[in-house]
Amino acid sequence: MEKREFKEKVYSELASLTKALAHPFRLQIIDLLAQGSRSVEEIAAQVDISIANASQHLQVMKGANLVSIQKEGHYVHYRLADERVYTVWQSLRELGIDRLAQIERTLKDFREEKNSFQSLSIDQLLEKISEEGVVILDVRPEKEFKAGHIPQALSVPMEKLAQKIADLPAGKEVVVYCRGPFCVFADEAVGLLTGQGIRAIRLEEGFPDWKSRNLPFQTIS
C-alpha cells in the first residue's frame, strides 16, 4: 500500500465518522440516547422531526457505527454504540461552549431570560455536598431518573415541579440538574424556584456527565 493511499483511507474513514456526527438533529439524538435507549418514535418526538426523517438520520449514525440497534417486537431500540461516542460529543461541546462566541451568547441570553444567571460545575457540586447540606433536584422525566440519578437527588419531573414546591425541605439551597448543558428543564426549574423566593442554581452538566466521570449513581428498577 502506498503512503498516500494509506493516509487517504484512514483520514477518509475518520472524516466519514465525523460527518455522521455533524448535524444538529444527530447531536440532539446523541444527547437523548445518552439517557438510555429509545425507539425511533420516541426519538422523533423528542427531537421534533418526522419519523421518516429520524429514521434516516439514525441510519446515517448506524452506518458510522455511532449507534446500535436492538429489535423488540416491531420496535427498534437505538442506543449509543460506545461510551466514547459521548466522550467525543463532550469534548466538542466544551470546545464550542468556550470558543464560539455565538453559543456562549445564546446560552447566556436564554438563561438570563429564565432568571437562571449562574451555574455550578460537577466539581463545585461535589464540594457543596461534602460541606453544606444541599437539596439536589432531578427534573428529568421519571423514566430517566429511574435509569440512573445522582445519589440523594429527588425526582421532580419538570411538569410536576409547580405543585411540589411546597414539599421541598425549607431554607436549603437547591441545585437542579437535567440531561446536560443544553437541557432547558433545569433553567426553567431555576426560574420557577427563584420566582418563589427559593435559592436555586442549575448544574452546568447533566447526569450523563456525572456518570461518565465514574461518580457513584443510583438506579430504581
Helix, strand, or coil (residue 75)? strand
Does position 211 interact with a second copy (CB under 8 A)? The reply is no
Pairing label, strands 75-80, 67-72: antiparallel
* 148, 182, 191, 199: which one binds a second copy (CB under 8 A): 182
Q: CB–CB of 86/96 below 8 Å?
A: no
Q: Out of 29, 30, 85, 178, which one is annotated catalytic?
A: 178
Q: Which residues, numbered 57-116, are part of the site for a second copy (CB under 8 A)?
A: 65, 81-82, 84-85, 87-88, 91-96, 98-100, 102-103, 106-107, 109-110, 113
* Number of residues located near a second copy, criterion CB under 8 A: 50
Q: How far is the CB of 16 from DNA (least distance, A)?
A: 7
CA distances from 212 to 78, 87, 107, 117 (A): 19, 8, 23, 26
Query: Which spans in 132-182 are helix H?
Result: 142-147, 158-164
3-state helix, strand, coil in the chain (%, to 5): 55, 15, 30
| Angle in degrees, CA 6, 12, 18, rounded to 5 | 145
Does position 41 interact with DNA (CB under 7 A)? The reply is yes
**Largest Cα–Cα separation, the chain:** 70
Candidates 71-79, 106-114, 130-138, 201-209; binding stretch for DNA (CB under 7 A): 71-79
Q: How far is the CB of 14 from DNA (least distance, A)?
A: 13
Does position 28 interact with a second copy (CB under 8 A)? The reply is yes
**Burial category of 73 from C-beta neighbours within 10 Å (exposed 0-12, middle 13-18, buried 19 and up):** exposed
Q: Which does 129 bind (CB under 5 to 8 A by kind): a second copy, DNA, none?
A: none
Binding site for a second copy (CB under 8 A): 1, 3-4, 6-15, 17-19, 21-28, 48, 65, 81-82, 84-85, 87-88, 91-96, 98-100, 102-103, 106-107, 109-110, 113, 182, 184
Active site (catalytic) residues: 178
Binding site for DNA (CB under 7 A): 19, 22-23, 25, 39-41, 49-53, 55-60, 69, 71, 73-77
